[in-house]
A = this chain, B = another copy of it.
């Protein structure tokens, strides 16, 4: 499993069909995506082509057509994408974001129980290091005196 993926939104639609069925023909992928997004065969073909050339899909020939499979794992792939996004903010703010996600995600009792257990086993640290580049996070404003040379900015309101 690669370190970094780059599967576009449209490509992801194709992947989902393959993930859902284990293996699919282009015909089936087209049927689903034509229904869901109104895409033409051509469009789906292009996407399949791009995915196979990136080696995210594999084509096995069977008589007249190809059967597509993938070795990528769906949740795993999404984790990679999520991590990319989470890298956009200060690691200190991530727990808040998770709280938000937990709040807004519909779940059943078992899900909640599972999360509770994860939380109970969760090891905490004394301090989460800020991983931001100086000037991209307020955590750094109190680190030194070499602050920015321009003028009045801040408002160091939040911190979380």
Using CB atoms and an 8 Å cutoff, list the residues of chain A in contact with chain B: 9, 12-13, 16-17, 19-25, 27-28, 31-32, 35-36, 74-75, 78-79, 81-82, 85-86, 88-89, 91, 93-103, 105-109, 111-112, 114-116, 118-119, 122, 124-128, 132-138, 140, 148-151, 153-160
Whether the Cβ atoms of B105 and A95 lie closer than 8 Å is: yes
Which residue of chain B has its CB nearest to the CB of A62?
A: B151
Cβ–Cβ < 8 Å partners of A118 in chain B: 99, 102-103
Copies of this chain, tallied across the complex: 2
Cβ–Cβ < 8 Å partners of A112 in chain B: 95, 119, 122, 124
A95 to chain B, nearest CB (A): 4
Question: Contacts A36-B133, A135-B17: A122 and B107 contacting too (C-beta < 8 A)?
Answer: yes
List 22 A–B pairs whose Cβ atoms lie within 8 Å, in order of A's numbering. A16-B136, A17-B135, A19-B136, A20-B132, A20-B137, A23-B158, A25-B160, A27-B150, A28-B135, A28-B160, A36-B135, A74-B89, A75-B97, A79-B100, A85-B85, A91-B105, A91-B106, A99-B115, A102-B118, A108-B127, A112-B122, A116-B116
